A and B are shown apart, each in its own frame.
Chain A
Amino acid sequence: MAKRGAARFDRVIDTALALLAWLVALLVVGMVGWIVADLLRQGLPRLSWAFLVELPGDAGRSGGIRPILISTLLILGVCLAVSVPIGLATAVFLAEFQRGHRGFGPLVRYSLDTLAGVPSIVFGLFGNAFFSITLGLGFSILAGGLTLACMVLPLLIRSMEMALRAVPAEHRLATAALGLPQRVSLLYIVLPAAAPGLAVGLVLGIGRALAETAALLFTSGYVDRLPDSLLDSGRALSVHIFDLAMNVPGGGSQAAATALVLVALVLLINAFTSWAARRWLGSLHSTTF
């Protein structure tokens, strides 16, 4: 009797869990569908080649997003020019020289884990205080790019370190057995072998940088003119969406169109990452993001 009761209890709980699981699966489909459908409905009518290449007019209510695209690319360029050399060097250092639990490596790792947990608005505070004011860069593309560089560094380093660790040890042993210096092994064996994984890390960093808004509000600023130099303020795509939605009455459809451009860019990048990760690295990267 008790046994039959327990079996029925089993079935009830099992059904409830199955219901929850299916509900969540449907909810995820619904949420993605809802958000994307709304963006398409509002933004697609505005989207055209002209939208991408024209200057904005009337505080962004009309015209296109050319200066915003250019500023976004420049900010991204500054971010990568700084974060990739530092990130790659740190990843090589951690993966090739600091495999143990002692020494300088764990300290670097701990510091980077902490950095990864810092909220993006705090990067904005820091970038404003350090790059814009203390270093005198003002509200500029340079200040924004440097702030983003600090922000993407942990992600960049973690994925690049994983890529380097995925290179089989035999490769290194073979070059060591030939008596070649590690410089040679690194440049001609390890880095080329890890190149696809390093590219995945790079692309992940680009995606994170493109999506960021809060860290840019008070570093690269709001100005929607074409920038003359890296010391000019430049408005990123994400900041443009924010400004149109919050501060410009009647800017909604332009914001939706800009959001479509941004989402398309980020999704293309993510799709490329997971495709590349599956193609080159097995499932190593597809479980992390």
Chain B
Amino acid sequence: MLKPSTSFHRHADRPLLWTLRLLSAVAALIVALILLFVLREAWPALLQLGPAHFLRDPGWHPASGDGDADYGLLPMLAGTLLSSGGAVLLAAPLGLGSALFATSYGPPRLRGPHRQLLQLLGGIPSVVVGFWGLVVLTPLIRQWHPPGQSLLAGILCLTVMILPTSAMLSEQALRDVPAGSLQAAAALGLSRRATLEGVVLPVARGGLLSAVVLASGRALGETMAVLMVAGNVIQVPATLFDPVRTLTANIALELGYALELHRSVLFVGGLVLMGVVAVVMALAAGLRSSPGHG
């Protein structure tokens, strides 16, 4: 007996299939093209300077001529990791709280509006969140502890950006718990807390962790919301109130006028960013397919 899909293929038109295949190949090749071009542009800096410069140069002084220019990327990498890390520390428990509200603790008639508000929040463009942070949030932080444009402001704006992602994915992870397990817990007369601790959280752990990791992927790659509020001073911050510059902000600020080696180093920054995000995404994929989830 033929399977349905096999019978399709008998009637498949060759030209149609080849057209589709060609356009799919175009779509699939874009990511390779991106990697190729970012690498090509970063190549001169990688060749002339080498990784030691990016790690060990004491500062970032690209303008002082080719001879003694400094291209230390570490402060920017620290800015990226600290701002994203802080945002994830806030957004992960908040996302779990939102998921609990949407699945068990919130009154059923409020769950729909809650979800719609989250979607609304997720629909606000990052440049608008950045603008709001600039005119509303940073003056408030300045009153508390100058200068206002700071790591803290960056963390808070990033949290606003990634909370919808973290919340929706956490909710999905809780919903993926099989109904049978919940019914069994109910039949055993387990309390809501015991059900959560003994059944829901262990089963949903992989999904919840991957929600956190995916949200941090978004935070790492975010540009506008952090560029507009974090102050963009190149330094490893000592406190939450110090301004920082992320890898993404560094590119957005300097690509417009950077030439030659300087421009090339900005592409190295892009490469580093892609690397960090790729590691995070691979982690998320690993967590999703880990035992205990699916």
Contact = CB atoms under 8 A, between A and B. Distances in A.
Contacts of B94: 24, 27
A270 B252 contact: no
Contact of B24 (A29, A104, A287): A104
A181 B13 contact: yes
B266 interface: yes
A277 to B, nearest CB: 11
A200 to B, nearest CB: 14
Contacts, number: 272
Q: Is the interface of B mostly helix, strand, loop or mixed?
A: helix
A236 B216 CA distance: 28
Contacts of B26: 86
B260 to A, nearest CB: 13
A97 B17 contact: yes
Contacts of A112: 27-28, 31
B131 A14 contact: no
Given A31-B160, A35-B124, A242 B24 contact: no
A239 to B, nearest CB: 8
Contacts of B127: 211, 213, 238, 241-242, 259, 262
B62 interface: no
B267 A129 contact: yes
Contact of A117 (B117, B119, B281): B281
Contacts of B128: 35, 39, 241, 259, 262-263
B278 interface: yes
Interface in B3-42: 4-5, 7-9, 11-13, 16-17, 19-21, 23-34, 37-38, 40-41
A62 interface: no
Size band of the interface chain B makes with A = 35 or more
A252 B135 contact: yes
Interface stretch (A45-53, A66-74, A119-127, A226-234): A119-127
A213 B125 contact: yes
A121 B274 contact: no
B114 interface: yes
Given A21-B101, A35-B124, A213-B125, A28 B117 contact: yes
Interface stretch (B48-56, B68-76, B188-196, B233-241): B188-196
B60 interface: no
Interface string B100-143: 11001110001000101111111111111111101110000000
Interface string A160-189: 000000000100110010011111011000
B105 A18 contact: yes
A225 to B, nearest CB: 18
B223 A93 contact: no
Given A124-B255, A129-B38, A129-B41, A28 B27 contact: no
- Name the 6 nearest CB pairs between A and B, nearest first: A119-B221, A211-B125, A24-B97, A89-B23, A21-B105, A21-B101
Interface of A: 7, 10-11, 13-14, 17-18, 20-25, 27-29, 31-32, 34-35, 38-39, 42, 85-87, 89-90, 92-94, 96-97, 99-100, 104, 107-108, 111-112, 114-115, 117-126, 128-130, 134, 150, 153, 157, 169, 172-173, 176, 179-183, 185-186, 207, 210-214, 217-218, 238, 241-242, 245-246, 252, 255-256, 259, 262-263, 266-267, 270, 274, 287, 289
